[in-house]
Amino acid sequence: MKQVIISLALLILGGCSSNSITSNPILSTGIKKSSETEPNIKVIALNNMTTLKSIIPQLAQSKVVLVGEHHTNYGDHLNQLAIIKSLSPYWKKMAIGLEFIQYPYQQALDDYIAGKITQTQMLRKTQWYQRWKYDFRLYRPLFEYAKAQHIPLLALNTPREITKRLSEVGIKGLTKAEREQLPRRMDFSNAKYKKALEAVYSQHGGKSHSKNFEGFYQAQIAWDETMADKTAQFMLKNPKTKVVLLAGSGHMKERYGIPSRLQRRIKNKPIVVLNGISDNPSPTQADYLLLSPDISLPKAGKMGIFMKDTAKGVFISKVIKASASAKAGLKKGDFISRLNGNKINTIEDIKINMIDAKPKEKVLLSIHRPSHRKIISKTLVLQ
């Protein structure tokens, strides 16, 4: 699918096009106007769809553009990169804000862009597979482009330790040192946002009026406020640099999360671009909606085990039946000490070493089995 973009302002509010659908269409003679004959159905005229190129000049006029994503959708990330590349000729100075790196790890991003550390070292120093956990291949083109073009990357997110504490004890239960890691002002007054988050929480089996929801809600607000605050701080220190901010669409939809909180700080309304079209799109959701290309990452090779980090190393807690590991003779209780000759201390080591592993590829593991004195070698054919 070619990448296309829909301008809500043009298509839903009814722009200059003769094909636009207005909220009050003219009714034929003899037909009564009622809720039955005029249901609240929104229409997107497909012949009005345009390309990304046509709206880049509008995006370029803004000081900051927020681009949402569904974290596991590779097409969304390619759209984000396309916007960044398209804005580069217009913006003399650009920075890219990242939800997926927590702000204490800013130095690792600086060192990566400066060429002082490798991509693998950056993943380790930002604790990517411990804190974000999504497949780095989804984001790799973005990181590689930023490095090649020397575009600063901004770590924006709240430390996981703080959001976890908020979920457990709420903002009033934080210590002084913990509270100081959050923005001074955090706005909890948006009832519509809270209701939307209640729906999300309920979809995952939680009860919206429970104490646990209140912790979840406060953690979400802290997340939004921190990302907005870190972006605003950077913009104030670097007034000539414009920012593309990348985060989950839930933090941007209806401008409830990051957009309104960033606007409060910089006194400038950011442009919001979301990937994907919901069941009931409206002009309040965002300024633009993008259709993502139908593309997926290459299938990753799998070992077929469950693991956990322990003081003794990576412990195999379960071997999936008929998996590559089961066929190679791995057992529950084994410890993985090496992978293709590389020393393994944590699950993160395994994920980094297998980042581009493919199905049918062979992997050599060194296994410590407590019932054996010697290290056991096992060759897996990944599935």
pLDDT at 278: 77
Residue 275, in any domain of the structure: yes
Long-range contacts of the stretch 291-294 (C-beta < 8 A, 24+): 291/1, 291/3, 291/4, 291/5, 291/6, 292/3, 292/73, 292/75, 292/76, 292/78, 292/79, 293/1, 293/2, 293/3, 293/75, 293/78, 293/79, 294/1, 294/75
pLDDT of residue 208: 56
Whole-number pLDDT of residue 206 = 65
| Any domain includes 182 | no
Domain of residue 221, residue span = 4-160+215-291
- What sign has the CA pseudo-torsion 91, 96, 263, 249? positive
276 and 145 assigned to the same domain: yes
Question: Is 254 in the same domain as 332?
Answer: no
Residues 50 and 125 in one domain: yes
**Is residue 183 a part of any domain in this protein?**
no
Assess whether 235 and 351 both reside in one domain: no
Within a domain: 300:
no
Please report whether residue 90 resides in a domain.
Answer: yes
CATH of the domain at 102: 3.40.50.11550
H helix intervals, the chain = 8-11, 52-60, 74-87, 106-113, 119-125, 128-131, 140-149, 160-169, 176-179, 191-203, 211-237, 258-266, 324-328, 347-353
Q: What is the structure's pLDDT at 27?
A: 35
Report pLDDT for 283: 84
Residues 233 and 372 in one domain: no
Of 232, 257, 291, the last residue of a domain is: 291
Residue-level pLDDT at 17: 34
Listed residues 291, 325, 358: the one ending a domain: 291
Q: What is the pLDDT of residue 10?
A: 34
Domain co-membership, 142 together with 37: yes
For residue 165, being part of any structural domain is answered with no
Contacts of 352 (CB under 8 A, 6+ apart): 120, 123, 124, 129
My answer on whether 328 and 225 are in the same domain is no
- pLDDT, tens digit, 9 for 90 and up, residues 336-359: 999 999 999 999 999 999 999 999
Domain shared by 148 and 247, yes or no: yes
End residue of a domain, out of 234, 262, 291: 291
Residue 198 lies in a domain: no
- pLDDT means over runs of 10, the chain (383 residues): 44 33 35 56 79 95 98 97 98 98 98 98 97 97 98 98 94 96 96 94 70 90 98 98 97 97 96 88 91 94 97 97 97 97 97 97 97 94 98
- Looking at residue 38, its pLDDT comes to 61
Task: Clarify whether residues 252 and 361 are in a common domain.
Answer: no
Q: Residues 301, 305, 311, 313: what is their CA dihedral angle, to the nearest 10 degrees? A: -50
167 lies in some domain: no
Q: What is the CATH number of the domain that holds 366?
A: 2.30.42.10
Q: Which two tokens stand for residue 71?
A: 């974290």
Q: Can you give the pTM of this predicted structure?
A: 0.88
pLDDT at 279: 73
Task: State residue 299's pLDDT score.
Answer: 96
Structure tokens, 59: 């995006």
Kindly state whether residues 154 and 74 are assigned to the same domain: yes
Does 23 share its domain with 116?
Answer: yes
What is the Cα–Cα distance from 103 to 81, expressed in whole angstroms?
A: 22
- Counting the structural domains of the chain, the total is 2
Q: In the numeric block, which tokens belong to residue 199?
A: 């729906």
Q: Are residues 63 and 148 in the same domain?
A: yes
DSSP state for residue 68 in the 8-state scheme: E
